[in-house]
């Protein structure tokens, strides 16, 4: 017997919402799992027999505690700041449970992904879908997002490993910077809810993670600047990058897309994913 599950991509942080706000995107990772005598993973035409330190194996272990044969079909660009690892972790845990015909509620899946990933925002988006607010303690809520808003993601062709992006962050943050970022979070939530350009403009320029990471991917900053100049209401790093996210309206999306395409210079692609209203399926 096999089990199948899929989970969406996600863009974490959205600027000032570091590790607490994420948007699920309609790009999905699909996993098929079945019981096996040893761990086996099939992906991108290759078969591997990983050890128990592998992230996918750890997800299945937490879910079912036994070896599985796992097939992964992942449409989410990897190491690009789009929550690929949270999606594959969530889908693997759910598919493994379904293969053994064992129930697994969304709350348990969220706990598994949050425990493995340490990113509650991406975990909540992968499991529950939509625009989410989450805490490392495992609490989460859906937030409202105006249907008038459109999302563009500029995805450079190079990768930026999350571990490297995390290592660039300072151990301490100035109190005044924290206060400024807290205000930006409030404006971000209100701006996404209402599509108010003034609120979204006030949500820009994150000081907690984007400024410390800017030298890791200067192109990300240039893409954000190009998007804003072309009419985007808000622009940010997507997760740990190097992808850049732009929040647009119907009237500005074409101009912003052109600006992002030009900024990539053929070294990447621009995606326009809808918000994934459903997480695990």
What digits encode the pLDDT tens for the residues 226-235? 999 999 999 9
99, 123, 142: which is the final residue of a domain?
142
Q: What is the CATH number of the domain that holds 234?
A: 3.30.70.890
- Cα-Cα-Cα-Cα dihedral sign, residues 184, 189, 190, 193: positive
Residue identified by tokens 């607010």 is 133
Residue with the larger pLDDT of the pair 161 and 142:
142
pLDDT confidence band for 162 (50 / 70 / 90) = confident
pLDDT confidence band for 35 (50 / 70 / 90) = very high
Model-level pTM? 0.93
101, 121, 142: which is the final residue of a domain?
142
Q: What is the CA radius of gyration of the chain?
A: 19
Do 181 and 208 contact (CB within 8 A), yes or no?
yes
Could you tell me if 46 and 120 lie in one domain?
yes
Count the domains in the chain.
2
Could you tell me if 131 and 156 lie in one domain?
no
Please tell me the predicted confidence (pLDDT) of residue 5: 97
Residue 77 within a domain: yes
Could you tell me if 151 and 75 lie in one domain?
no
Does 117 score more than 90 pLDDT?
no
142, 174, 202: which is the final residue of a domain?
142
Residue 65 within a domain: yes
Could you tell me if 92 and 176 lie in one domain?
no
Do 153 and 243 contact (CB within 8 A), yes or no?
yes
Could you tell me if 203 and 241 lie in one domain?
yes
Please tell me the predicted confidence (pLDDT) of residue 161: 87
Task: Report the distance separating Cα 263 and Cα 135, nearest Å.
Answer: 34
Could you tell me if 167 and 137 lie in one domain?
no
Domain assignment of residue 236, given as a range: 145-271
As given in the structure block, the two tokens for residue 237 are 């790093």
Q: What is the largest CA-CA distance in the chain?
A: 58
Residue 33 within a domain: yes
Please tell me the predicted confidence (pLDDT) of residue 138: 86
Could you tell me if 36 and 121 lie in one domain?
yes
Could you tell me if 235 and 247 lie in one domain?
yes
Could you tell me if 8 and 138 lie in one domain?
yes
CA 258 distance to own-chain centroid: 24
214 — alpha (psi -120 to 50), left (phi > 0) or beta?
alpha
Helix (H) or strand (E) run with residue 131 in it: strand 131-134
Could you tell me if 138 and 158 lie in one domain?
no
Residue 279 within a domain: no
pLDDT in tens, 120-153: 999 999 999 999 999 988 899 999 999 999 999 9
Residue 276 within a domain: no
Could you tell me if 18 and 127 lie in one domain?
yes
How far CA 100 is from CA of 4, 69, 134, 155, in Å, comes to: 11, 12, 30, 37
């Amino acid at each position: 017997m096999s089990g199948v599950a899929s989970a969406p991509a996600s863009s974490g942080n959205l600027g000032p919402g570091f590790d607490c706000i994420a948007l699920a995107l309609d790009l999905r990772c699909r996993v098929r799992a079945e019981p096996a005598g040893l761990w086996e993973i099939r992906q991108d035409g290759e078969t591997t027999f990983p050890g128990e330190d592998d992230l996918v194996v750890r997800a299945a272990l937490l879910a079912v505690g036994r070896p599985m044969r796992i097939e992964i079909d992942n449409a989410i660009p990897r190491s690009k700041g789009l929550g690929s690892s949270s999606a594959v972790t969530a889908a693997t845990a759910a598919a493994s449970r379904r293969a053994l015909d064992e129930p697994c509620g969304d709350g348990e899946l969220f706990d598994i992904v949050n425990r493995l990933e340490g990113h509650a925002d991406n975990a909540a988006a992968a499991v529950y879908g939509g625009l989410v607010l989450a805490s490392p303690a495992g609490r989460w809520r859906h937030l409202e997002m105006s249907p008038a808003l459109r999302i563009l993601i500029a995805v450079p062709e190079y990768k930026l490993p999350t571990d490297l992006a995390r290592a660039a962050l300072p151990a301490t943050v100035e109190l005044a910077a924290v206060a400024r970022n807290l205000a930006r979070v409030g404006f971000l939530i209100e701006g996404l809810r209402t599509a108010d350009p003034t609120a979204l403009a006030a949500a820009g320029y994150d000081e907690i993670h984007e400024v410390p990471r800017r030298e890791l991917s200067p192109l990300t900053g240039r893409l954000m600047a190009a998007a804003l100049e072309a009419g985007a209401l808000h622009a940010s790093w997507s997760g740990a990058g190097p992808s850049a996210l732009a929040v647009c309206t119907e009237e500005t999306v074409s101009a912003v897309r052109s600006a992002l395409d030009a900024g990539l210079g053929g070294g990447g692609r621009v995606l326009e994913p809808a918000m994934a209203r459903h997480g695990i399926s």
